[in-house]
A = this chain, B = another copy of it.
Amino acid sequence: MSATDNTETTARRRGRRPAGQDTRTALVEAARAVFAENGYDGATVRAIATRAGVDAAMVNHWFGGKEGLFAHAVLELPFDPVELQQTLRDGPDDELGERIVRTFITRWDSAGGGVFVALIRSVAGHEQAGHVLRDFFQRFFSALISAIGSDRIPLRMNLCASQMVGLGMIRYVAKFEPFATEDVEVLVRAVAPNLQRYITGEIG
C-alpha cells in the first residue's frame, strides 16, 4: 500500500485531512453534495476534491475517476460490490427479491435518502449518468440473476431496475405518503414478491 502511504505523507505535509479512509469518506460526502447541486455533468473532480479538502488525484486513487466516485457516492455502493453480491446471494434463491429490497432500502435510508435525489437529478440531467446507472445495474443484477440460472437476463435486469429505481423515486424524491415514512418491512412484504417474479418468475 505504498501509494496510500505516500498520499498520507503528502496530505499531512500540506496540513490537510489525513489520507486513507478519512480521505475516502470526505470525498464521498463532498461528491454527494456536489452531484446533488450540479448534476453529473456540472460536477467536476476538482470541485469535489476542493470541498473534501484533498488533492484531486485522490479521486483517481480511490475511485478510478468521476464515474467510479459517482457509482460509490451516489449509488451507495460499498467499496466492493462483489462483497454486497455475496451478502445477497447468501440465502434461498426464492428469497433473493426480499434480500435485495431490504438491503437497498436499509442502505438508502441510512444515507438519509439524499443520495437518491442526487442520483435522479444526475440521470435526468445528463446522458452519461444514465450510462453509469445502467452499467451498475447491468453488472450487479446480471451477476445475481445469472447465478441462479434464469433466462432473459437483460430484460429481467431492466425490470428489476424499473422497480428499484421507482421505489427510490417514490420514497425519497417525490415522497408519496405512506411510502416515504413506511416501515422497511412493510415495503419488503409489498415489493419483494414482485421483484422475485422479475428474477425467477414467468415474465411472458
Query: Which positions in A face B, CB cutoff 8 Å?
Result: 117, 120-121, 123-125, 130, 133-134, 137-138, 154-155, 157-159, 161-167, 169-171, 173-179, 182, 186, 188-191, 193-194, 197-198, 203-204
> Which among B130, B188, B190 is the interface contact of A173 at CB below 8 angstroms?
B130
Q: Are B130 and A174 in contact (CB under 8 A)?
A: yes
Q: Are A154 and B173 in contact (CB under 8 A)?
A: no
> Which among B158, B169, B186 is the interface contact of A165 at CB below 8 angstroms?
B169
Q: Are A170 and B158 in contact (CB under 8 A)?
A: yes
Q: Are A162 and B170 in contact (CB under 8 A)?
A: yes
- Jot down 11 A-B pairs with beta carbons below 8 A, ordered by A: A124-B124, A124-B173, A134-B174, A155-B190, A163-B163, A164-B166, A165-B169, A169-B169, A188-B204, A190-B204, A193-B197
A67 to chain B, nearest CB (A): 15
Specify which chain B residues have a CB less than 8 angstroms from the CB of A169 in the assembled complex: 120, 123, 162, 165-166, 169
Q: Are A163 and B204 in contact (CB under 8 A)?
A: no
